[in-house]
Amino acid sequence: MVSIRKSIARGGYRLGCRLLPVLPKWPGELALVKFLNVQLAEELEEGEFDFLEGRVLEIAVIDFRISLRMGKSGARFVRAPASAITDAAIAAKAVDFLAIASGREDPDTLFFHRRLSISGDTELGLTAKNRLDAIDRSRLPQRAQRWLVLIAGALADAAAK
Amino acid sequence: MQLALGPVQYYWSRTDINQFYESILSTPLDIIYLGEVVCGKRHQLRAADWLELARTLAEVSDKQIVLSTLTLLESNADLNWVRKICDNGQLLVEANDMSAVQLLSEARLPFACGPAINIYNQRTLSHLMSLGMVRWTAPVEMSGRQLGDVLNACGSKPEVELFAYGHMPLAYSARCFTVRHLGLDKDNCGYRCMEYPDGLPLFSQEDEKLFVINGIQTLSGEPVNLLRHYPKLRALGIDILRISPQWLRMEQVVAAFDSARRGELNPDLLPQGVDGYWRDHAGLELIARSGADSTDGCHT
Amino acid sequence: MELVCPAGGLPALEAAIDNGADAVYIGFNDDTNARNFGGLNFNDRSALRALERIRSRGRKLFVAINTYAKPGSFSRWQAAVDRAADLSADAMIMADIGLMEYARDKYPKLSLHLSVQASATSVAALEFYRRQFGIRRAVLPRVLSLKQVQQLAAGSRVELEVFGFGSLCIMAEGRCHLSSYVTGESPNLNGVCSPARAVEWRNGANGLETRLNGVLIDRFADNENAGYPTLCKGRFVVDGKRQHALEEPTSLNSMALLPELKAAGIQAIKLEGRQRSPAYVAQVVRTWREAIDEVLQRGADFLVKERWRGTLAKNSEGKQTTLGAYDRPWQ
């Protein structure tokens, strides 16, 4: 079972590395923004992401050679317009982003180990990191949580090979 | 305004210390602080020697002699040193750590608080005044605006002193950076900091002079220089300006401040230094060549 | 021995509770605490939630109001004390004399802990704060050796808390102006060392460069671990030699000294890291919980397990740990 999962993860990972850079990135950005708008509605309402207003945060998945750029307008996260300049960028491999998202790893730890980098407006990047850390993961749908942990674990195993 | 000479931060030999204070006697300084304030291991002059020197100076001059205590106490031996200074029975003591404040207030003695005591607001100031503080040297990072805020909120004030010239003490550590640089360990330091009478300059990898290493202490790379702000300092109600001892050109610095208080302010006599803190900016900002007044943080 | 753990947000607080914290310390989201970073810390609502979760699990909540009150805004610091008192926090961690006087006058029943930012390193200094404000506990600065901690513990009339693990300040806390000299914002008044707005990371021809308000702190080659962009851990040139003139990127880890600290009568171990994520808090707290339980059981026979060492090393700044000043040769 474990080995099947691992080989699926490895296969999926290789496919991702090949395919993702050549696909248009707007569906990914759209999906990300939509997901966040639903999951973080409460935080948005409370103004906890106001620091992103009119700014552009880029999340660069370096092994997939894709970068998702987002900002905030009014009470919603939005895709950043192509013409807008990136204010801050956080870059890491997919496996490390997933490790952070699933609560396996601490971003500062990854940063010390040079597996995560931050450029541009450091304060914007740091604030985003801290706000995401403060989100109650138990509020995410059970299924999403399970998947996150599962994928992160599988990718970490795959990456360790 | 009175002019004070702060305690020597560096490790100078006994002979040099004696010569230095002898030369100071003929300067127009009003107040002299002395004593070891950086490292309890320095032993050219121990507590008893400082006391003796202070008493001698008090006898032969009409300047006010004040004894300064260690800033970072790390052992019972250090505390005993501070105790001896506080128990001197004659001269005013400048406390540089809460240990000294405790000993002095317990003995119901008046005391001064040095710049390393964290007094940032009026309530702290008045609490310490209620315990016997008669003089306050503001923390080096305090701006003119903040100092004004404290003084404006004060009913009764102590004598207010400002670190007006010299390399500013910025940090104290358990580690000795001089011996670290020399590859020695602190227990066998060989008192090598004596080889650097003005400390060891530290540069960024781009040749920017940032700090000065002085044993366990880190000083600002450039001296603070508030000479050009003299009229504002006076208007703010500052009573005493502190000049920090340095190996070279001490008389020149004293003379520049002395002429300012005699009504002949000439900033060009001391063109170098930083004044960022005073202007509510980063401490390392160089004194402005012109237009300094427009950016001055002080609103008097 | 009480295990006192950091939380910069609710998930971290949950992680601390779940993994065995006896007490959790938090701060409000402004400059009244010494980890004043964007997006971190608690507002009134989340602080109330924190309290509920702490109470339901029978742990303690400490609130750090451990910066120095700015002269023009004393009332804001005062309000922070009121907020902590309204929460019925189990203790307030403080450093400012004027603010402690206010807290003592207005809330005489509230426990005061002396923050490490007050830098009390002698029996006399501790006695000052005990007599003036009735502090119950003091957190000792990370500049003392084990022998000095033992000396203090023998003479102190207040409980003592020491640092177990986390980023290492090599300067006496509350008495370091390096960051303020370069950026204009000070740990004492603004609650931040190397404020993020002044930090710049950039990949250049010579590797990863980090700057603070334009001042080059360090350049890292590709294979080198990085640290926080603090001046005390940068590489500088002294006498023509390029070196970590003050300290290397490293974290403090005093786990090996647990038996001695316990024997000396140290009442609490503090873990640093309110700026870290719940993942860090979970891993580090669990590790220390196991270690403290072990030392309580085995006393002097306590040995640091390889697994614990590994977890702590992984979470360390610069991937290494040191006994810091606890270890005399370090000095």
The domain spanning residue B31 has which CATH number? 3.20.20.70
Does residue B202 belong to any structural domain of this protein? Answer: no
Of A53-57, A105-109, B77-81, B259-263, the poorest mean pLDDT is in: A105-109
Please tell me the distance from the alpha carbon of residue B101 to that of residue B117, in angstroms, as a whole number: 10
Does residue B128 belong to any structural domain of this protein? Answer: yes
Provide the pLDDT confidence category of residue B298 given band limits of 50, 70 and 90. very low
Tokens 């390392």 belong to B284
Does residue B216 belong to any structural domain of this protein? Answer: no
Inform me whether the pLDDT recorded for B300 exceeds 50: no
Please tell me the distance from the alpha carbon of residue C52 to that of residue C36, in angstroms, as a whole number: 23
Domain that holds residue B66: 2-168+221-269
Task: Write the DSSP symbol of residue B286.
Answer: B
Q: Return the CATH number of the domain spanning residue range A2-160.
A: 3.30.1050.10
Please tell me the distance from the alpha carbon of residue B250 to that of residue C73, in angstroms, as a whole number: 39
Compute the Cα dihedral for C220, C224, C225, C231 and give only its sign: negative
Tens digits of residue pLDDT in C291-330: 999 999 998 899 999 999 999 998 888 766 777 777 655 5
Average confidence (pLDDT) over C249-275? 94
Three-state SS string over C37-74 comes to CCCCCECHHHHHHHHHHHHHCCCEEEEEECCCCCHHHH
Q: Please enumerate, by residue number, every residue of B annotated as part of a binding site for [4Fe-4S] cluster.
A: 39, 176, 189, 193
Please tell me the distance from the alpha carbon of residue B25 to that of residue B58, in angstroms, as a whole number: 10
Nearest to B92 by CA among B48, B136, B49, B42: B136
C chain contacts of residue A156, beta-carbon cutoff 8 Å: none
Cα of C198 to nearest chain A Cα, Å: 8
- pLDDT (0 to 100) of residue A3: 63
Q: Distances from the Cα of B104 to the Cαs of A83, B157, B284, in angstroms?
A: 66, 19, 35
Does residue B232 belong to any structural domain of this protein? Answer: yes
Provide the pLDDT confidence category of residue C109 given band limits of 50, 70 and 90. very high
Does residue B259 belong to any structural domain of this protein? Answer: yes
Domains annotated for chain C, with CATH where assigned, are 2-168+250-330 (3.20.20.70), 185-243 (no CATH)
Nearest to B114 by CA among B44, B184, B36, B46: B36
- pLDDT (0 to 100) of residue C168: 84
Q: CA-nearest residue of chain C to B79?
A: C122
Residues ≥6 apart with Cβ < 8 Å to B185: B179, C329, C331
Q: Distances from the Cα of A155 to the Cαs of A32, A89, A147, in angstroms?
A: 20, 23, 12
Does residue B239 belong to any structural domain of this protein? Answer: yes
Residues ≥6 apart with Cβ < 8 Å to A38: none
Higher pLDDT, C249 or A24: C249
Helix (H, G, I), strand (E, B) or coil at C121: coil
Give the residue from A112, A113, A119, A121 with the most C CB atoms within 10 Å of its CB, the best one to mutate: A112
Please tell me the distance from the alpha carbon of residue C235 to that of residue C242, in angstroms, as a whole number: 6
Helix (H, G, I), strand (E, B) or coil at B299: coil
Q: What is the mean pLDDT of chain A?
A: 82
- pLDDT (0 to 100) of residue A4: 67
Does residue B139 belong to any structural domain of this protein? Answer: yes
Cα of A29 to nearest chain C Cα, Å: 23
Please tell me the distance from the alpha carbon of residue C274 to that of residue B30, in angstroms, as a whole number: 48
Give yes or no for a contact between C287 and C253, defined as CB atoms under 8 angstroms apart: no
Does residue B8 belong to any structural domain of this protein? Answer: yes
Alpha helices, H only, chain C: 10-18, 44-56, 74-86, 97-106, 123-133, 146-155, 178-183, 187-190, 258-264, 278-298, 306-314
Please tell me the distance from the alpha carbon of residue A65 to that of residue A93, in angstroms, as a whole number: 9
CB contact under 8 A, B204 and C219: no
Inform me whether the pLDDT recorded for B293 exceeds 50: no
